Amino acid sequence: IRDLYGRLIDGSLGTTGKLRTGGDGANMQSQGSPPTEKLVAFFSGPVELDADGKARVDFDIPQFNGTVRVMAVAWTKEAVGHAETDVIVRDPVVITAGLPRFLAPGDAATMRLDIADTDGPAGDYKLSVATTGDLSTGDKPLPEKLTLTQGKRQTLSFPLIARTAGDASITVKLAHDSGTEVEQTLYLPVRPAQLPVTNRMVVDLKPNGGALRVDKELLAASVLDGASVSVGISQAAAFDVPSLLMSLDRYPYGCAEQTTSRAMPLLYVNDMATSIGMESDPELHGRIQDAVYKVLSYQAYSGSFGLWGPGSGDLWLDAYVSEFLTRAREQKYDVPAQAMNQALNNLQNSLGYDQDVQDRGSEIAYALYVLARNKKASIGDLRYYADTQLEAFSSPMAVAQLAASLALYGDTQRSEATFQTALRLAKASTEYDYYRSDYGSPLRDGAAMLALAAESKPVPSIVPQLIRLVGRERADARWTSTQDESWMLLAARALKEGNDSITLSVNGAPHSGGYSDRVSGSDLEGRPLTIANTGKTPLQAVVTAVAAPVEPLPAGGDGFTIDRTYYRLDGTEANVTEAKQNERYVVVLKVYEQNNWPSRLLITDLLPAGFEIDNPSLVSSAQLANFSWLAQTDAAHLEFRDDRFVAAFNPNEGDGDRNITLAYVVRAVTPGTFAHPAATVEDMYRPQYSARTASGMMEVKAE
């Protein structure tokens, strides 16, 4: 959580903070970028006193102006005591900066510096302002010196212009002839004005010299900074591990399903790295362990899991997260025993009263599979479903999970027959059921069947047919969800053999075996990649680029419409093309879903850099009496970030279309000219259905 109250406190005097203005953000849910400033919180540990009862403790205080509290606790065998005092810590000249939380390429903001001579000598100070990253202070020259008077304050404003995305910083230095020097470094991320877009290409490499060149032309219509390009060559292009990993990594939100989908295949990535030409990731263990702890934070007291927080009612999600925890424990990750037992007990309890195979087959089969993997399923139940109820299961993945469960208990004959049934069901499913609630798609089902079959012992005879089935589904799928990508990665383990015969030439150097590489957009500009197939069999290369487009995408979409309107607090509509500094605006987002099936929606509104979210508690705000017509739709999850507003919605009840209305308040904070990004809506598990508003430019005019 990150608050903005520090920006309201005058730190130049080093006194206890006093707010210059009010605020009502106590209930604010915030997920901002991590603070770049170092925290001023230090602990010495036990320190032994000398014979006089004294000790010296030193702390290296980072860049800081204000008051710190020094606290000490002392004890002997007979007594204990404590004391505390406040100490002013500040530079002789205090520099306070007012600048936006972020910028976008092309933005021009005004930065304000308040310079207070609190303890430094009076007189002339040499001023220098240096920037890193592609950030400039414009053409207007800054004064070479400032004349300061002790106890007085001066204000200096100058422009900041961002050219390309990336991390940037501004360093302000003041130097006096007496030797007094002050330096302040401020960090400013520059974020693309558009959300990244994923493009995937499959390129045929003919035998005996078929070549591919990947250079900056691939990203000619994209922003190079922040862009990533992956290249993968293996025997099966559909299972390109580098591109699947990169696509999963691009998703910036973290519900229980998305966190699990990103982390579960990582359990096995390092094991596959050698065969696919990837380097092992030394930081993988920490990422997976963090994901374990994160999904456990979504666990309710009953052992169930919610999508965006502790919750219940979604047995398929319960089983999915429980499988991840099971696999993580098998790989020796720290999974608390009590949490794991609660998750498994929840699955057992759910199966005790949920017997509706016709409508709930996907959930029942998944829960049985996870219990079987933990040796807690009833073999009698598994045989009953396989022998008498198999035709009631409508999902090929569910049937394959029953087959894999039987294999875990050594019932090879039933397992093989059930896998065959799953394959027949997948081939017979010609139309996608949009009303299914298991986050799935035909591609996901096929990949899950292949992953489960490849893990079963003995391996079922249908694996080659499943590989061809999944390859066809992947070729037909233009868009993929986190579910598709996660299970495709798990299925890729079935094909880890067979790349030994590949021979390539990579930038003129011979290479044997599978190949993969991931290059940033900026590196690609100076380091193009040329790959040739020097073998006797044809190959396919998968090139995937994740990058923000240079030119804004036009308004429009498929399956949804979305509108964004701004209002003043008096209820009148506002045109924020020219906004006034310190003016508050109500942003109203309206989404109309044109599909009549249940959807899990994600709505994202990227802010212009001159705006900051002001009051998330919109409905309870007494200042919004002029918006009696505003009836907000309850969201499953809300985020108020530094650079965006995010809302997520669970599937609607019933089969009808739905309208969604959302609102939040922004304040025009920083003067300047800024990109005004589009607001977007998407179906998280059918990403082909999405919509966006128009984008453009806007200006915040100084008071």
> Which one is predicted more confidently, 49 or 140?
49
Q: Per 3-state DSSP, what percentage of the chain is helix, strand, and coil (rounded to 5)?
A: 30, 30, 40
What pLDDT does 596 receive?
Answer: 77
Burial 89-107 (b: 16+ CB within 10 A, else e): ebbebbbbebbbbbbbbeb
Task: Specify the CATH architecture of the domain 93-190.
Answer: Sandwich (2.60)
Among the listed residues 90, 175, 58, the one whose alpha carbon sits nearest the alpha carbon of residue 125 = 175
With a CB cutoff of 8 Å and minimum separation 6, the contacts of 157 are 110, 111, 112, 113
Mean pLDDT of 338-355: 92
pLDDT category, 137, cuts 50, 70, 90?
confident
Mean pLDDT of 176-205: 89
Provide the token pair at 267. Answer: 């359990």
What pLDDT does 271 receive?
Answer: 78
Q: Cα separation of 341 and 260, whole Å? A: 18
Mean pLDDT of 180-189: 91
Domain definitions of the chain by residue range:
93-190, 196-235+498-547, 236-497, 556-701
Q: In this model, does residue 33 exceed pLDDT 90?
A: no
Q: 556-701 adopts what CATH topology?
A: Immunoglobulin-like (2.60.40)
Q: Cα separation of 628 and 612, whole Å? A: 24
What pLDDT does 418 receive?
Answer: 95
Residues of the chain above pLDDT 70, percent: 90
Q: How many CA atoms lie within 13 A of 690 on its CB side?
A: 23
Q: Are 373 and 356 in contact (CB under 8 A)?
A: no
pLDDT category, 487, cuts 50, 70, 90?
very high
Residues of the chain above pLDDT 90, percent: 49
pLDDT category, 676, cuts 50, 70, 90?
very high
Q: 196-235+498-547 adopts what CATH topology?
A: Jelly Rolls (2.60.120)
Q: 93-190 and 236-497 share one CATH topology?
A: no
Concatenating the DSSP letter of every residue in 650-674 gives PPPSSSS--EEEEEEEEEE-S-EEE
Crossing angle of the two packed helices 482-491 and 442-455, in degrees rounded to 10: 30
Provide the token pair at 312. Answer: 């219940």
Q: Cα separation of 517 and 521, whole Å? A: 13
What pLDDT does 686 receive?
Answer: 86
pLDDT category, 74, cuts 50, 70, 90?
very high
Q: 236-497 adopts what CATH topology?
A: Glycosyltransferase (1.50.10)
Q: Pseudo-torsion of CA 678, 683, 686, 690, nearest 10°?
A: -30
pLDDT category, 19, cuts 50, 70, 90?
very low
Mean pLDDT over all residues of the chain? 86
Mean pLDDT of 138-149: 85
Q: In this model, does residue 544 exceed pLDDT 80?
A: yes
What pLDDT does 636 receive?
Answer: 87
pTM score > 0.85 for this model? no
Provide the token pair at 678. Answer: 């589009």
